[in-house]
Amino acid sequence: MKKHGTLFLNAYTNSPICCPSRAAMWSGLFTHLTESWNNFKGLESNYTTWMDLMQKHGYHTQKYGKVDYISGHHSLSNRVEAWTRDVDFLLQQEGRPMVNLTGNKMYVRVMEEDWQNTDKAVYWIRKEATNFTRPFVLYLGLNLPHPYPSPSAGENFGSSTFKTSPYWLEKVMYEAIKIPKWIPLSDMHPIDYYSSYTKNCTGHFTKKEIRDIRAFYYAMCAETDAMLDHGELAMEHQQFYKMSMYEGSSHVPLLVMGPNIKAQHRVSNVVSLVDIYPTMLDIAGIPLPHNLSGYSLMPLLSEKADETLSRSPHPTWVLSEFHGCNVNSSTYMLRTDKWKYIAYSNDHSIPPQLFDLFADPDELTNVATTYREVAHSLEKKLRSIIDYPKVSASVHEYNKKQFINWKQSVGQNYSNIIANLRWHQDWLKDPKKYERAIDKWLK
Task: Kindly report the CATH number assigned to the domain that includes residue 215.
Answer: 3.40.720.10
Region class of 237: left (phi > 0), else alpha (psi between -120 and 50), else beta: left
Burial class (CB in 10 A: 0-12, 13-18, 19+), 244: buried
SS3 326: coil
Distance CA 121, CA 343 (A): 40
Return the pLDDT at 307: 53
Cis peptide before 145 (omega within 30 of 0): yes
Distance CA 282, CA 297 (A): 9
pLDDT category, 414, cuts 50, 70, 90? Answer: very high
Mean pLDDT of all residues in 311-317: 82
Per-residue pLDDT tens for 136-146?
A: 999 999 999 99
Q: Tell me how many degrees the CA angle 398-322-36 measures, rounded to the nearest 5.
A: 50
Q: What is the DSSP letter of 393?
A: H
Residue 431 near residue 424, CB atoms below 8 Å: no
Among the options 18, 201, 221, 325, which is catalytic? 18
Return the pLDDT at 174: 95
Query: Are 231 and 293 contained in the same domain?
Result: yes
Does 34 score more than 90 pLDDT?
A: yes
Distance CA 26, CA 19 (A): 10
Query: Are 302 and 394 contained in the same domain?
Result: no
Q: What is the mean pLDDT of the chain?
A: 91
SS3 216: helix
Query: Are 381 and 395 contained in the same domain?
Result: no
Mean pLDDT of all residues in 303-326: 79
Query: Are 378 and 416 contained in the same domain?
Result: no
Query: Are 178 and 231 contained in the same domain?
Result: yes
Query: Are 336 and 400 contained in the same domain?
Result: no
Distance CA 78, CA 156 (A): 10
Does 229 score more than 80 pLDDT?
A: no
Return the pLDDT at 243: 83
- Domain housing 202: 5-388
Mean pLDDT of all residues in 415-440: 93
Does 276 score more than 90 pLDDT?
A: yes
Query: Are 279 and 410 contained in the same domain?
Result: no
Mean pLDDT of all residues in 399-419: 94
Residue 2 near residue 42, CB atoms below 8 Å: no
Query: Are 279 and 204 contained in the same domain?
Result: yes
Query: Are 372 and 397 contained in the same domain?
Result: no
How many domains, the chain? 2
Mean pLDDT of all residues in 304-332: 82
- Beta strands per DSSP E along 53-101: 60-65, 98-101
Does 155 score more than 60 pLDDT?
A: no
Does 377 score more than 60 pLDDT?
A: yes
Does 312 score more than 70 pLDDT?
A: no
Residue 117 near residue 65, CB atoms below 8 Å: yes
Distance CA 326, CA 358 (A): 28
Region class of 168: left (phi > 0), else alpha (psi between -120 and 50), else beta: alpha
Q: Dihedral sign, CA of 401, 323, 256, 282? A: positive
Mean pLDDT of all residues in 207-224: 96
Query: Are 367 and 401 contained in the same domain?
Result: no
pLDDT category, 198, cuts 50, 70, 90? Answer: very high
Nearest-CA neighbor of 357 among 10, 6, 1?
10
Instruction: Please give the residue that has the higher pLDDT: either 279 or 311.
Output: 279
Residue 178 near residue 75, CB atoms below 8 Å: no
Q: In what order do the strands lie in the sheet with 148-149?
A: 98-101, 159-164, 148-149
Residue 270 CB neighbours (<10 A) = 20
The three-state (H, E, C) secondary structure of 132-165, written as one string: CCCCEEEEEECCCCCCEECHHHCCCCCEEEEEEC
Residue 315 to residues 255, 271, 404: CA-CA distances in angstroms? 20, 9, 41
SS3 281: helix
Return the pLDDT at 53: 97
Distance CA 336, CA 171 (A): 35
Instruction: Please give the residue that has the higher pLDDT: either 375 or 325.
Output: 375
Residue 308 near residue 282, CB atoms below 8 Å: yes
| Torsion angle (degrees, nearest 10) of CA 118, 121, 123, 128 | 180
Query: Are 364 and 404 contained in the same domain?
Result: no
pLDDT category, 237, cuts 50, 70, 90? Answer: confident
**Is residue 18 flagged as an active site residue?**
yes
Does 25 score more than 90 pLDDT?
A: yes
Return the pLDDT at 368: 96
Q: What is the DSSP letter of 240?
A: E
Give the whole-number percent of the chain exceeding pLDDT 90: 80
Return the pLDDT at 3: 64
Q: At what angle do helices 276-284 and 18-27 cross, to 10 degrees?
A: 30
Residue 97 CB neighbours (<10 A) = 26
Query: Are 288 and 431 contained in the same domain?
Result: no
DSSP string of 20-62, one letter each residue: HHHHHHHH-S-HHHHT--BTTB-B-TT---HHHHHHHTT-EEE
Per-residue pLDDT tens for 41-90?
A: 999 999 999 999 999 999 999 999 999 999 888 888 889 999 999 999 99
Does 311 score more than 60 pLDDT?
A: no
pLDDT category, 152, cuts 50, 70, 90? Answer: low
Mean pLDDT of all residues in 406-431: 93
**Strands 5-12 and 251-257: what pairing?**
antiparallel
Nearest-CA neighbor of 218 among 159, 164, 180, 150?
164
Return the pLDDT at 310: 53
pLDDT category, 270, cuts 50, 70, 90? Answer: very high
